[in-house]
Amino acid sequence: MSFLKVEHIHHTYFTKTSATTALSDISLELEEGEFISFLGPSGCGKTTLLSIIAGLFQPTEGTILLENRSVNKSKKKIGYMLQQDYLFPWKTIEENILLGLKIFGIEDSAKKEYAFSLLEEMGLKGYEKQYPKQLSGGMRQRVALVRTLVTEPKLLMLDEPFSALDYQTKLRLEDLVSETLKSFGKTAILVTHDIGEAIAMSDRIYLFSARPGQIYQSFEVPKELRELSPFQARNHEIYSQLFQEIWKELESLES
């Protein structure tokens, strides 16, 4: 049984005067512990699909099953990490990371201890009483990751979480997030425009065609790369070969 099953998803946005189809007949399956990425031209529906999988809104047609149950009944099992950290500026780092626990009514001492241990693992011990404005962009994204992980979601949705960061910080966070998700055995879906990021972090990559978004092609990332950290993977010769292969396919879609 697949951990996540996406079956024949169609989605159309309606206005009073028009109908725009964003996704057409998307089907895929994801096993527990896998990390997949969505790549494709701008406007091809990658983020729309991510939002549908997360249960944020219903597709026009199709079903999403998480552990063989409707995703609408499994929202507590899903964590979301976005391009912006969306930390509350008037709350301390401690208050921000405990927010999910408070919302779900599971703010017990064991969960709090777990949250602080995660913060320490991210190299942020001692920042609990500070405010987001006192931290760098990379530090805030690490706080956002702690806030996401602390409720122990089974599926993580990553919507271009590193795109607003400088390149060096981005590479460091790729390694940190990849290592963290592997150590916790988390399942993740990444939406990105960065081919290199998709290759370095994923087990499998789905390339979408232009609107209406459809799965044009999928790529299995070779085991040699999957066993490396994202930074190490970028220096492997197979990385360059796969990058060129995906680049050519993406160029053909955008031409």
pLDDT in tens, 168-180: 888 988 998 899 8
- According to the model, what pLDDT value does residue 74 have? 67
CA-to-CA distance for 160 and 163, rounded, in angstroms?
A: 6
CA 106 to chain centre: 24
Classify residue 229 by burial, with Cβ atoms within 10 Å: 0-12, 13-18, 19+. middle
Q: For residue 6, what pLDDT band results from cuts at 50, 70 and 90?
A: very high
Q: Residues 4-87+156-254: name the CATH superfamily.
A: P-loop containing nucleotide triphosphate hydrolases (3.40.50.300)
Type of residue numbered 200: A
The H or E element that residue 187 is part of is strand 187-191
Q: For residue 130, what pLDDT band results from cuts at 50, 70 and 90?
A: very high
Calculate mean pLDDT across residues 190-203.
96
> Is the model's pLDDT at 1 over the cut of 70?
no
pLDDT digits (tens, 9 = 90+) for 8-37: 999 999 888 889 999 999 999 999 999 999
Name the nearest CA neighbour of 54 among 35, 71, 69: 71
Type of residue numbered 234: R
Q: For residue 75, what pLDDT band results from cuts at 50, 70 and 90?
A: low
CA-to-CA distance for 34 and 14, rounded, in angstroms?
A: 34
Q: Quickly list H helices, 37-82.
A: 46-53
pTM for this model (two decimals): 0.90
Calculate mean pLDDT across residues 73-80.
77
Looking at the chain, the whole-number percentage of residues with pLDDT higher than 70 is 98
Calculate mean pLDDT across residues 106-125.
86
CA-to-CA distance for 75 and 54, rounded, in angstroms?
A: 7
Q: Would you list the domain boundaries of the chain? A: 4-87+156-254
* Mean confidence (pLDDT) of the chain: 90
The H or E element that residue 6 is part of is strand 4-14
Q: For residue 110, what pLDDT band results from cuts at 50, 70 and 90?
A: confident
| Beta carbons within 8 Å of 171's beta carbon, 6+ residues apart | 230, 231, 234
3-state SS, residue 67: coil
Bridge partners, 159 (sequence order): 191
Name the nearest CA neighbour of 143 among 179, 176, 189, 97: 97
CA-to-CA distance for 18 and 7, rounded, in angstroms?
A: 26
CA-to-CA distance for 122 and 120, rounded, in angstroms?
A: 5
The Cα-based distances of 179 to 152, 176, 201 in angstroms read: 16, 5, 10
